[in-house]
Chain A
Amino acid sequence: MEERLYDLIFILRPATPEEEIDKMIATLEHTVAERGGKVEKKEKWGSRKMAYRVKRHREGYYVLMVLRSTQGDMVHELERRLKVNDAVIKYLTVRLDEDIKRQKRLQQRRERKAARRPRGGARGGGGHGHPAGGEQPAAAVQQQQ
Chain B
Amino acid sequence: MADDTQKDSQSHAPHAAPEAAEPRPHEPQHAPQAAPPAEGKPPEPRPADARPHEPRPHESRPHEGRPRGEARPGESRGPREGGREGGKRGRRGFYRKKKVCRFCVDRVDFIDYKKPEQLMTFIQERGKIVPRRITGTCSRHQRWLAEAIKRARNIALMPFGGAR
Contacts and interface: CB of A to CB of B under 8 A. Distances in A.
Interface of A: 7, 9, 11, 50-54, 60, 64, 90-92, 94, 99-100, 102-103, 106-107, 110, 125-135, 138, 142-143, 145
A126 B58 contact: yes
B8 A142 contact: yes
Interface stretch (B33-41, B68-76, B131-139, B148-156): B148-156
Interface residues of B, number: 33
B80 interface: no
29 contacts: A11-B155, A50-B156, A51-B158, A51-B159, A51-B160, A51-B163, A52-B161, A53-B164, A54-B156, A90-B155, A90-B156, A103-B109, A106-B109, A107-B109, A125-B56, A125-B58, A126-B58, A129-B57, A129-B61, A131-B57, A131-B60, A131-B91, A131-B92, A133-B61, A134-B92, A135-B91, A135-B92, A138-B92, A142-B8
A126 B163 CA distance: 46
B60 A129 contact: yes
Q: Looking at chain B's contact residues, is the secondary structure mostly helix, strand, loop, or mixed?
A: loop
B58 A92 contact: no
B110 A100 contact: yes
A57 to B, nearest CB: 10
Given A90-B156, A94-B113, A100-B110, A142 B15 contact: yes
Nearest to B14: A145
Contacts of B109: 102-103, 106-107
B51 interface: no
B81 to A, nearest CB: 9
B57 A130 contact: yes
Contact of A51 (B11, B107, B110, B153): B153
Nearest to B152: A51
Given A53-B164, A90-B156, A100-B110, 8 more contacts: A9-B114, A51-B159, A52-B164, A106-B109, A127-B58, A131-B91, A142-B15, A143-B8
B27 interface: no
For B90, B107, B110, B158, which residue has the most chain A Cβ atoms within 10 angstroms?
B110
B67 interface: no
B82 interface: no
B4 to A, nearest CB: 10
Nearest to A49: B156
Contacts of A90: 155-156
B156 A52 contact: yes
